[in-house]
């Protein structure tokens, strides 16, 4: 009997361990799946405005969006796949900042030294920090810097391209972009859309280090074979009031391409132009788009301090302030739905955008985990450090955003199972004692 009970005891322990393991795995998987499921961005799923006027753009495709919410304020063929050229480097740069260590020392390879196109004249064997490579990549559009970054992080451009595509679909959530290299030199399978580039840039510009680099107009460059002052290739920075970035590009197959951003009086916009007729017309198109944003829209603020009630009068709050766009002379209507989202409506029952809103207690947990470091960073290095702190904190997010209720149920079932098995054990022990009593 003792041997039989020992066997049952082992079964109980094994079953308990399996239940616990399943609970943990389900928590992690559910959280990741829920987080990824939220990140699918397509042009048809974001808030749109009807154009107040038809802009005479020369670019084949173009878009203007609110830099905070992603609302589409104007678009022209924005879902059409196009060749991006060097605006590809926006993705290479933000990946290096977020997933690399900017203090790393990178040794330049022969392949990086000899890459075609615009360069910062790296030499084979030259040792450069990853930060300096990102600066050379985004300010001077160095293709050699792009290859050096790719080889440092993934040993080859091909493996780094795989990382880029995972980042685009899983982290940013865009669906119509595929990159095959880190710099944007022409390849048939290297393409994007104006909408995707706007969403990619919206994501990247939330990073302080990235913002500081793409907003840098000039920088001293001391290299092994090249000492000079770099001037940002993006002419918007020196020619448009409030310009904050970000990147231009050109190859024969793409024509002139440009992603620009600007901010004035609390309003911030991102615009993309692809395959303009000429470089000059590209910048005219960009100015036209940004002017259209500032002249036709007002910015309203949803405060994280405001309390919204659901249908059961449960208080909810946003996790951060949100600056959103409304057409001039339009009065927005804000209401909370039963799915846990805050809807913002414009005139004619047109949905401007929606955002997830959390119960007050959960919202406070979220803010503590995702709290932004106050003040502006004084340097690129400080900004990168601040982002790393926020990234580490956000690893806790699946517990809040994921299938937490499923985890609670699993743990409850686990505890019930343990209680049931303990009761059975006690009953068996009681029966054993009765059997040993002599009659």
Q: Which residues are catalytic?
A: 86, 89, 141
Measured CA to CA, the distance from residue 382 to residue 330 in angstroms comes to 40
Residue 317 near residue 308 (C-beta atoms within 8 A): yes
Classify the phi-psi angles of 373: left when phi > 0, otherwise alpha if psi is within -120 to 50, otherwise beta. Answer: beta
Nearest residue to 276 (alpha-carbon basis) of 120, 59, 56: 59
Residue 123 near residue 113 (C-beta atoms within 8 A): yes
Neighbour order of strands in the sheet with 350-356: 333-336, 341-346, 350-356
Inter-CA distances, 230 with 86, 95, 136, 142, 242, Å? 17, 22, 8, 11, 21
Classify the phi-psi angles of 184: left when phi > 0, otherwise alpha if psi is within -120 to 50, otherwise beta. Answer: left
- Structure token digits, residue 356: 């997830």
Measured CA to CA, the distance from residue 50 to residue 72 in angstroms comes to 9
SS3 assignment, position 343: strand
């Amino acid at each position: 009997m003792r041997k039989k009970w020992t066997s049952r005891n082992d079964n109980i322990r094994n079953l308990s361990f399996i239940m616990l393991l399943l609970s943990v795995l389900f928590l992690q998987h559910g959280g990741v799946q829920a987080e990824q499921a939220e990140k699918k961005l397509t042009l048809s799923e974001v808030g749109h405005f009807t154009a107040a006027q038809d802009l005479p753009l020369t670019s084949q495709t173009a878009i203007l969006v609110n830099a905070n919410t992603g609302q589409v304020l104007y678009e022209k063929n924005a879902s059409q796949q196009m060749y991006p050229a060097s605006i590809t480097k926006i993705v290479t740069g933000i990946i290096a900042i977020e997933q690399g260590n900017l203090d790393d020392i990178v040794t330049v390879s022969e392949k990086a030294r000899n890459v075609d196109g615009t360069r910062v004249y790296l030499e084979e064997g030259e040792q450069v920090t990853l930060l300096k490579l990102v600066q050379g990549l985004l300010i001077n559009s160095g293709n050699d810097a792009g290859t050096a970054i790719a080889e440092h992080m993934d040993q080859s451009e091909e493996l780094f391209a795989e990382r880029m595509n995972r980042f685009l679909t899983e982290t940013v959530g865009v669906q119509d972009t595929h990159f095959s290299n880190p710099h944007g030199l022409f390849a048939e399978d290297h393409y994007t859309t104006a909408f995707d580039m706007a969403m990619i840039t919206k994501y990247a510009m939330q990073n302080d280090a990235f913002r500081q680099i793409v907003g840098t107009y000039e920088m001293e460059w001391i290299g092994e074979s090249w000492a000079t002052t770099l001037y940002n290739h993006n002419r918007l920075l020196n020619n448009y009031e409030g310009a904050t970035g970000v990147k231009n590009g050109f190859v024969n197959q793409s024509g002139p391409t440009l992603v620009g951003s600007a901010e004035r009086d609390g309003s911030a916009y991102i615009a993309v132009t692809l395959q303009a007729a000429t470089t000059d017309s590209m910048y005219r198109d960009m100015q036209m788009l940004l002017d259209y944003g500032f002249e036709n829209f007002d910015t309203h603020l949803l405060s994280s301090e405001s309390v919204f009630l659901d249908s059961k009068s449960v208080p909810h709050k946003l996790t951060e302030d949100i600056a959103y766009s409304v057409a001039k002379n339009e009065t927005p209507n804000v209401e909370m739905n039963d799915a846990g989202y805050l809807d913002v409506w414009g005139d004619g029952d047109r949905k401007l955008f929606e955002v997830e809103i959390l119960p007050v207690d959960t919202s406070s947990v979220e803010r503590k985990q995702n709290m932004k470091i106050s003040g502006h960073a004084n340097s690129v290095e400080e900004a990168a450090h601040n982002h790393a702190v926020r990234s580490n904190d956000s690893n806790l997010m699946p517990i809040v955003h994921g299938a937490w209720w499923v985890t609670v149920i699993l743990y409850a079932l686990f505890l019930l199972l343990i209680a049931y098995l303990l009761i059975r054990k006690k009953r068996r022990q009681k029966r054993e004692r009765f059997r040993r009593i002599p009659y």
